[in-house]
Copies of this chain bind each other. A is one copy, B any other.
Amino acid sequence: MERNFLLKIEYDGSGFSGWQRQPEVRTVQGELEAALSQVMGKPVQIHGTSRTDAGVHALGQQASFSGEFGIPTERIAQAVNNRLAGKGGGIGKIGRVGDVRILSVCEMPAEFHARFSSLGKRYRYLIGNSPETDIFRRKYCYQVQEPLDEAAMQKAAEFLVGTHDFACFQASGSTPRETTVRTIYSLTVNRQGQDIVLEVTGDGFLYNMVRIITGTLVEVGLGRRRPEEMTGILESCDRQKAGHTAPPEGLYLAEVFFDEDAVRSAREEGMDCRDKEKKR
């Protein structure tokens, strides 16, 4: 009997050429499919909710796959993770930590698909805003040394919440889509010491949308743009009017929503989303 599985996955994107399987290069999908195929005993193809770019991280990517498999659901994660973990240099299993791992596996109804069933996503963008750069964090945040005014950034962010045509925040040259209208349920900018954490929840995101929004908000934070300019930028539908594309290293796919209740609750409690994930 055909079974359908949903994986929740985290990865450090710094060692990958992005999510999507490609010949000759190391990708998250490629590594996962190789390990899964070994564990399941036959070739497995997975469908990820988000095809994250090279260097982008995930705390809660999701992916589904189906087929006829005998293995009990609860054994999959451990078996795959053992294959994904590096050799490490410690004793026994100590110190073996890979750069991608499965957090959970659920068995889903046949019609479920990680991409097409997704109702929304939450991304986090981490900015290091210290006068000194930190070489050890260069793959994990966008380091802006000049002080950023996070209140101005938050003010600008509020103009973007709601249903808008976000064409101006789409990378130029993107594959044309049916529509560039998307809904942002919440977009918050918070300072945590010398870090600025941007959290954005929406029903879907155009190519590079979070990174261009972040780059634009950084320019507001630096005083190069006023928060009120966001309305004009949105209305222009012109990529040239928005700010620069923030680098991939600061971007984390934090959460995927499949359930309408979860989306509603994320919408209502948008401001508290970040508290749910104390981990990072």
Q: Which residues of A contact B (CB under 8 A)?
A: 10-12, 57, 86, 88-91, 94-95, 97-101, 133-138, 140, 142-146, 215, 218-219, 243-249, 280
Contact = CB atoms under 8 A, between A and B. Distances in A.
Q: 4 tightest A-B contacts by CB?
A: A89-B247, A97-B138, A91-B244, A97-B133
Nearest to A87: B247
Given A90-B215, A91-B215, A246-B89, A97 B143 contact: yes
Contacts of A246: 89-90, 95
Given A101-B135, A136-B280, A244 B12 contact: no
B247 A95 contact: yes
B98 A135 contact: yes
A90 B247 contact: yes
Interface-central residue, A88, A95, A101, by most chain B CB under 10 Å: A95
Contacts of A218: 90-91, 94
A143 B94 CA distance: 7
A176 to B, nearest CB: 24
Q: How many of these chains are in the complex?
A: 2
Contact of A90 (B98, B99, B137, B244): B244
24 contacts: A10-B135, A86-B138, A89-B142, A89-B246, A90-B142, A90-B218, A91-B215, A91-B218, A91-B219, A94-B144, A94-B218, A95-B142, A95-B143, A95-B246, A97-B135, A97-B137, A97-B138, A98-B138, A99-B135, A99-B138, A100-B135, A101-B135, A136-B140, A136-B280
A59 to B, nearest CB: 9
Contacts of A146: 94
A245 B12 contact: no
A103 to B, nearest CB: 10
A160 B214 CA distance: 51
A234 to B, nearest CB: 21
Contacts of A219: 91
Contacts of A140: 136
Contacts of A142: 89-90, 94-95
A137 B89 CA distance: 15
Contacts of A247: 88-90, 95
Contacts of A57: 136
Nearest to A144: B94
Contact of A144 (B95, B145, B245): B95
A219 B249 CA distance: 36
A190 to B, nearest CB: 20
Contacts of A90: 142, 144, 215, 218, 244, 246-247
